[in-house]
C-alpha cells in the first residue's frame, strides 16, 4: 500500500510538470508496466483528479481543470488566497521567490476552476499598489510563458526593442529568469537561429502558440549566469583591466568594478562601460599607480588625458 501511495504521488507530480504524457513515458519514469499506469490513473480519478486521456498512438494522459477544485486540501477561499499571493510574489514584491512563485502559480492555475480563476482576476484587476518602480508584467503573461516553457510550445509575440521599434518574433522558450524587477525569457530565436533574451514586459503574446519543438541544450549550464553576463555585455560593451599597485581593500570601496587581489600590495581592477574616456578618468583619479593590461588603445586615451592635465 505504501508503495502504491508513493507511486500515485509521483504520478501526480509528473502530470503537473508538463501538459501531455504518453503511457509509455509514464511507465518508464515510474518503473512499472503500462497496465499499472492505467490502474493508477483510475485511482487518481476516483480521488477527484481530472486526468484526461486520448486513445491511439499519439494519445496519452493530461491533468486538466475539472468542474470542482481537485482535493488539494484547499477550500475555495484558500485557493483564491494562494493564487493571489503567488501572483503578488511573482511580480517581485518579495525578493528571491519570484521564479518559485511563478512555477507554483503555473501548476495551480492549470487545475483552478473557471469560477475561482475569475475571482482571482477580479481581485487583481481592482488592486492598486503604490511605489512600484520599474516595468511591470501581468502575471497572466508570465504564466503563459512558463506554461509554454513547460509544454515546449513555440511562442509568437510582438516585441518592442530598446529603440521603440516593434517586430513579430518566433521563439522556442526555455526558461524565465528574474533580475531585480524585470523578467527575461531565455529562448531559441527561430528566425535568427541563435539563443536570445527577451524582456517579458516588452512582449505582447499572440494566440495561439506555435507548434511543439524538440528540446535543445541551453546556452550554458547556468542559465541565470548566462543572462547576467549577456545583460552586462549588452549594457556595457567596453571592458578594461588595470594592474593597480595598491591593496585590494584600499581600492574596492572607491570604484564600481571587480577588484581581484594579487598579493598584499597589488590587485587587478576590471571595469565595464560604454565610454572608454570616462573609464580612463575613473582609473586616473584613484590616486594609485597603475598599468593598463587591456585594451592597449586605452593607453593613448590616458596619455592624452595626462597631457591636458599637465598643460593646465
Encode pLDDT of 192-251 as tens digits: 999 999 999 999 999 999 999 999 999 999 998 898 888 776 667 788 899 999 998 888
Q: How many CB atoms lie within 10 A of CB 261?
A: 14
Q: What is the pLDDT of residues 23-67, one digit of tens each?
A: 889 999 999 998 999 999 999 888 888 888 877 655 689 888 765
CB 186 within 8 A of CB 146: no
Cis (ω within 30 of 0) for the bond into 208? yes
- At the topology level, CATH places domain 1-63 in Arc Repressor Mutant, subunit A (1.10.10)
Q: How many CB atoms lie within 10 A of CB 37?
A: 23
Predicted TM-score of the model (pTM): 0.53
Sorting pLDDT into bands at 50, 70 and 90, what band is 94? Answer: very low
Is the confidence at residue 306, as pLDDT, over 60? yes
Percent of the chain exceeding pLDDT 90 equals 30
Residue 146 C-alpha cell reads as 512558463
Sequence ranges of the domains in the chain? 1-63, 76-126, 137-232, 238-311
Name the residue among 72, 4, 74 with its Cα closest to residue 42.
4
- At the topology level, CATH places domain 238-311 in Alpha-Beta Plaits (3.30.70)
Q: How many CB atoms lie within 10 A of CB 14?
A: 16
Helices (H), the chain: 2-17, 23-30, 34-46, 76-90, 98-111, 114-125, 139-151, 223-235, 248-252, 276-284, 297-310
State the pLDDT at residue 171: 97
State the pLDDT at residue 203: 94
Q: State the DSSP string of 249-283.
A: HHHHTTSSSEEEE-SSS-EEEEEEES-HHHHHHHH
Higher pLDDT, 246 or 312: 246
State the pLDDT at residue 138: 74
Amino acid at each position: 500500500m505504501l508503495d502504491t501511495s508513493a507511486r500515485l504521488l509521483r504520478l501526480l507530480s509528473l502530470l503537473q510538470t508538463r501538459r501531455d504524457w504518453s503511457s509509455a513515458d509514464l511507465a518508464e519514469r515510474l518503473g512499472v508496466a503500462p497496465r499499472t499506469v492505467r490502474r493508477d490513473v483510475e485511482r487518481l480519478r476516483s480521488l477527484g483528479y481530472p486526468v484526461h486521456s486520448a486513445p491511439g498512438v499519439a494519445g496519452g494522459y493530461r491533468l486538466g481543470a475539472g468542474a470542482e477544485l481537485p482535493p488539494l486540501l484547499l477550500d475555495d477561499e484558500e485557493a483564491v488566497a494562494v493564487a493571489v499571493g503567488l501572483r503578488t510574489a511573482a511580480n517581485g514584491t518579495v525578493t528571491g521567490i519570484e521564479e518559485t512563485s511563478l512555477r507554483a502559480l503555473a501548476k495551480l492555475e492549470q487545475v483552478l476552476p473557471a469560477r475561482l480563476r475569475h475571482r482571482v482576476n477580479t481581485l487583481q484587476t481592482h488592486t492598486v499598489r503604490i511605489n512600484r518602480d520599474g516595468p511591470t508584467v501581468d502575471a497572466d503573461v508570465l504564466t503563459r510563458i512558463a506554461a509554454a516553457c513547460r509544454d515546449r510550445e513555440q511562442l509568437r509575440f510582438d516585441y518592442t526593442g530598446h529603440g521603440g521599434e516593434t517586430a513579430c518574433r518566433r521563439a522556442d522558450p526555455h526558461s524565465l529568469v528574474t533580475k531585480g524587477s524585470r523578467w527575461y525569457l531565455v529562448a531559441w530565436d527561430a528566425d535568427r537561429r541563435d539563443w536570445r533574451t527577451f524582456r517579458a514586459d516588452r512582449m505582447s503574446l499572440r494566440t495561439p502558440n506555435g507548434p511543439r519543438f524538440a528540446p535543445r541544450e541551453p546556452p550554458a549550464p547556468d542559465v541565470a549566469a548566462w543572462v547576467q553576463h549577456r545583460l552586462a555585455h549588452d549594457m556595457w560593451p567596453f571592458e578594461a583591466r588595470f594592474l593597480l599597485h595598491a591593496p585590494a581593500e584600499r581600492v574596492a570601496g572607491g570604484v564600481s568594478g571587480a577588484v581581484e587581489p594579487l598579493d598584499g600590495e597589488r590587485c587587478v581592477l576590471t571595469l565595464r562601460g560604454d565610454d572608454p574616456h570616462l573609464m580612463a578618468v575613473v582609473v586616473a583619479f584613484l590616486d594609485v599607480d597603475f598599468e593598463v593590461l587591456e585594451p592597449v588603445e586605452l593607453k593613448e586615451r590616458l596619455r592624452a588625458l595626462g597631457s591636458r592635465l599637465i598643460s593646465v
